[in-house]
């Protein structure tokens, strides 16, 4: 790996020779491999023994692996039982369990694709909380929606907007995460593009854009609310100097996070700025290079700032009278009374009643890609169950016929090939599973079955291993 000369000089000047030699050695090493289990689908799971290489210190559901298996060939990855994520990014879990554990809360993850930190956040948020997961770039937003559907938690809205759109939406959040686009120095060993695109001019461009992003969304953070700012870069312009701008110009206080010395997380590199900020350096910390800081916005939290039951009950009544719930099998999900069933363009979604007001406000001014649980699409009298339903933790499995697939069949299903079901499988929609875990739906029409796996999600690899290589154990 050849690092840009300007980057070396700049970083060496910041860190000093000793730390720089650790970082440069770290950047030349193989990156550690890690995964995070989905607590809603795999609470008592663990990595396969042959791969296991210890736990990530700052995240209970994070594990290191001793090598990089071919994740694409594991049906359980596609079913959302775990997420492949570099370990440093899992520090968000630590931050949220310390500062965002009292709920319910509303949270916005503003720059969220492909969804790694959104899935950390969704796992850490108190039950009943809502996560709005946003990405402005259209194609990346689709990938985000896919990953959030695989994660399978119903209290999520995925949007495709720029930060200024949130400013106009008048939505307010208790927690905002800005994992801003950056010059990517911390990803050099994983991503050659980050090296080729790095330049002093790009660092300048990045810190300005990052300030603009935070400023645009600042009005959406409630007084007393939490801003979590992160980058995957080392330089102080995009890190400490932006934090100084946010605290001094926008009005926020930096908060310390409890850390363990053995994790070797370092602090501020900016002289004269001795504040609690957290930097993960390759070669020192076991993960990629990231920077994170946690701030509380000035002002008091409004103690009455919870949804008012009386107002909500009245609205529920009005909505029910509109017969919104018409065309859908409510019993496809568990506890259907918790949800409003909303149909738009023939697609029905179950929206948790608890945050229906936020959904309505968001629908007026934002581009929503998915919200709650997408239940299915009506075609004539038929309702085709959605992939998101198959992967939702709220799926009521017992309302569908089920068929267990072997490994070869499961991979064929994920490649959107025809998979023949056992002769005694009932006709109609069938939930197909691997190791008892839902993968999606087929429509069994007797002599054959139509594979309903989304074409955009299909596994493209032409080669598939003959044997299943277990990456995680589910129990």
Ligand X SMILES: C[S@@+](CC[C@H](N)C(=O)[O-])C[C@H]1O[C@@H](n2cnc3c(N)ncnc32)[C@H](O)[C@@H]1O
Residue whose Cβ sits closest to ligand X: 111
Number of neighbouring beta carbons within 10 Å of residue 337 = 6
Q: With contact defined as beta carbons under 8 Å apart, do 292 and 95 qualify?
A: yes
Residue among 42, 213, 294, 403 that touches ligand X (CB under 6 A): 213
179 assigned to a ligand binding site: yes
Of 166 and 413, nearer to ligand X (C-beta) is 166
Residue among 31, 62, 116, 287 that touches ligand X (CB under 6 A): 116
Residue among 93, 135, 165, 174 that touches ligand X (CB under 6 A): 135
Number of neighbouring beta carbons within 10 Å of residue 250 = 17
Cα 252 to Cα 447: distance, rounded to the nearest angstrom: 65
Question: Active site residue: 182, 206, 232, 328, which one?
Answer: 232
Cα 456 to Cα 264: distance, rounded to the nearest angstrom: 41
- 117 near ligand X, rule: CB under 6 A: yes
Q: What are phi and psi of 39, to 5 degrees?
A: -65, -20
Which 8-state DSSP code applies to residue 31?
P
Residue among 136, 152, 283, 352 that touches ligand X (CB under 6 A): 136
What is the closest distance, in whole angstroms, from the C-beta atom of residue 308 to ligand X in the complex?
Answer: 32
Q: Which stretch binds ligand X (CB under 6 A): 133-141, 260-268, 388-396, 420-428?
A: 133-141
Nearest to 425 by CA among 452, 454, 404, 398: 404
Nearest to 336 by CA among 324, 322, 321: 324
- Give residue 255's Cα distance to chain centre: 23
154 assigned to a ligand binding site: no
Q: How far apart are the first and last CA of the chain?
A: 40
Q: Which stretch binds ligand X (CB under 6 A): 54-62, 136-144, 376-384, 422-430?
A: 136-144
- 394 near ligand X, rule: CB under 6 A: no
232 catalytic per annotation: yes
Of 47 and 136, nearer to ligand X (C-beta) is 136
What is each CA distance from 237 to 234, 268, 270, 290, 291, in whole angstroms?
Answer: 9, 12, 9, 14, 12
Which residues are registered as beta bridge partners of 296?
226, 253
Residue among 115, 186, 283, 385 that touches ligand X (CB under 6 A): 115
Of 141 and 386, nearer to ligand X (C-beta) is 141
Residue among 93, 179, 185, 442 that touches ligand X (CB under 6 A): 179
Please report, as ranges, the residues that interact with ligand X according to CB under 6 A. Answer: 89, 110-117, 135-137, 140, 162-163, 179, 181, 213, 232
Give catalytic residue positions: 232
Binding-site members for S-adenosyl-L-methionine are 111-117, 135, 179
């Amino acid at each position: 790996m050849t690092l840009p000369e300007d980057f070396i000089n700049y970083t060496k000047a910041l860190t000093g020779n000793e730390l720089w030699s650790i970082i440069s050695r770290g950047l030349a090493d193989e990156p550690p491999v890690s995964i995070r289990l989905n607590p809603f689908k795999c609470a008592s799971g663990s990595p396969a023994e042959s791969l296991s290489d210890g736990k990530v210190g700052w995240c209970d559901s994070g594990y290191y692996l001793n090598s990089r298996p071919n994740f694409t060939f594991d049906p359980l990855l596609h079913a959302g039982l775990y997420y492949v994520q570099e370990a440093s990014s899992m520090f968000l879990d630590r931050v949220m369990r310390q500062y965002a554990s009292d709920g319910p809360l509303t949270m916005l993850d503003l720059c969220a694709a492909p969804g790694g930190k959104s899935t950390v956040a969704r796992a850490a948020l108190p039950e009943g909380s809502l996560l709005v997961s946003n990405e402005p770039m259209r194609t990346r937003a689709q990938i985000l929606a896919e990953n959030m559907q695989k994660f399978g938690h119903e209290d999520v809205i995925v949007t495709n907007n720029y930060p200024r759109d949130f400013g106009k939406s008048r939505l307010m959040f208790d927690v905002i995460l800005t994992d801003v686009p950056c010059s990517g120095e911390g990803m050099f060993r994983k991503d050659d593009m980050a090296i080729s695109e790095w330049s002093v001019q790009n660092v300048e461009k990045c810190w300005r854009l990052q300030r603009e992003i935070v400023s645009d969304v600042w009005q959406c953070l409630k007084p007393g609310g939490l801003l979590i700012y992160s980058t995957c870069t080392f330089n102080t312009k995009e890190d400490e100097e932006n934090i100084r701008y946010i605290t001094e110009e926008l009005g926020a206080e930096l908060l310390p996070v409890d850390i363990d010395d053995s994790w070797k997380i370092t602090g501020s590199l900016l002289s004269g700025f001795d504040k609690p900020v957290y930097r993960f350096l390759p070669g020192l910390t076991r993960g990629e290079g990231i920077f994170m800081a946690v701030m509380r916005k000035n002002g008091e939290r409004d103690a009455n700032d919870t949804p008012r039951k009386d107002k909500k009950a009245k609205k529920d009544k009005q909505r029910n009278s509109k017969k919104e719930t018409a065309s859908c099998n409510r019993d496809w999900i568990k506890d259907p009374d918790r949800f409003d069933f909303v149909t738009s363009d023939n697609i029905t979604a179950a929206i948790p009643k608890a945050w229906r007001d936020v959904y309505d406000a968001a629908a007026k001014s934002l581009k929503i890609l998915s919200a709650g649980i997408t239940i299915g699409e009506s075609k004539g009298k038929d309702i085709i169950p959605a992939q998101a339903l198959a992967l939702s933790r709220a799926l009521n499995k017992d309302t569908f016929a089920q068929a267990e697939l072997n490994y070869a069949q499961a991979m064929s299903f994920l490649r959107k090939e025809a998979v023949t079901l056992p002769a005694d499988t009932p006709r109609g929609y069938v939930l197909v599973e691997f190791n008892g875990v839902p993968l999606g739906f087929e429509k069994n029409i007797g002599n054959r079955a139509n594979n309903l796996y989304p074409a955009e999600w299909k596994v493209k690899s032409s080669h598939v291993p003959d044997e299943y290589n277990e990456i995680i154990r589910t129990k």
